[in-house]
Amino acid sequence: MRHTAGRLNRAWLIITGSILLVGGALAAATGLGLLEGRSFSGLRAPGRDQPVLAPAAGDQVLAGALLAAGLVLGILAVLWLLAQVPRKHGASTVKLEDPDGKGLTLVEPALLEDAISTRIEELDDVTGARTVIRGSSRTPDITVRATTTCDAAIPYVVTDIEQHIRHDLRASLGQEPASLAVEIDVRATPKKQSSVTVEAVALDA
């Protein structure tokens, strides 16, 4: 339903992991004396008894460099953390134009989403539903997560949901969904009915 930062996470994990892996390996190789006397692209590897850091700059320059590097790294880390919040990326407003081009109706997507979810929850064996609308009124992109009971005939539930959404969108937006994704979840709790209709024939029996 909601979008997560999967690609971003994998990209940054590869970058961070590679830096740690190569850096750690080079540091260990230097400490064990494996790189003693070797040079790479004009850079001579330090000796194993040399200090790790021998800053030539003064304390003020060093402190300034630490502050700047810390700020850049901190901002990147905070942005990465914020990216972990799942995003809905839903449509902002659904705009319905009059066929003559004289009128414009703005519809809050939440209203349509609630209406679709409520209609789906009325289906047999469906105990809950959540809907997200993306795209525009001409190319609505619908994602539905429906929760069913354990005994539900899943293929029929999917067909029912599709038929309801196509019918409702045709009636409300005058369009078929450009794409429709249906996620089915199953809960062990049975469907709760607020009222039950018993036919007279059944009572006679």
Under rule CB under 8 A, which residues in 9-68 are in contact with another protein? 9-14, 16-25, 27-28, 30-33, 46-55, 59-60, 62-68
* Cα gap 142→109, rounded to integer Å: 11
Strand positions, DSSP E, 98-139: 104-107, 126-135
Minimum distance from CB of 121 to another protein (Å)? Answer: 16
Binding mask 64-103 toward another protein (x if CB under 8 A, else -) reads: xxxxxxxxxxx-xxx-xx--x----x--------------
Of the candidates 180, 179, 174, 176, the one whose C-alpha atom is nearest the C-alpha of residue 161 is: 180
Minimum distance from CB of 177 to another protein (Å)? Answer: 7
Closer residue to another protein, CB minimum distance, 93 or 159: 159
Q: Which two tokens stand for residue 172?
A: 């409300």
Minimum distance from CB of 89 to another protein (Å)? Answer: 7
* Cα gap 154→126, rounded to integer Å: 10
List the one residue from 5, 96, 121, 168 that touches another protein (CB under 8 A).
Answer: 5
Q: Check residue 200 for interaction with another protein (CB under 8 A).
A: no
The size of the interface with another protein (CB under 8 A), counted in residues, is 88
Closer residue to another protein, CB minimum distance, 14 or 111: 14
Q: Which residues contact 27 (CB under 8 A, 6 or more apart)?
A: 52
Q: Check residue 177 for interaction with another protein (CB under 8 A).
A: yes
Q: Check residue 115 for interaction with another protein (CB under 8 A).
A: no
Q: Which two tokens stand for residue 1?
A: 């339903």
Q: Which two tokens stand for residue 186?
A: 């199953």
Q: Which two tokens stand for residue 192?
A: 């709760």
Q: What count of residues does the chain have? A: 205
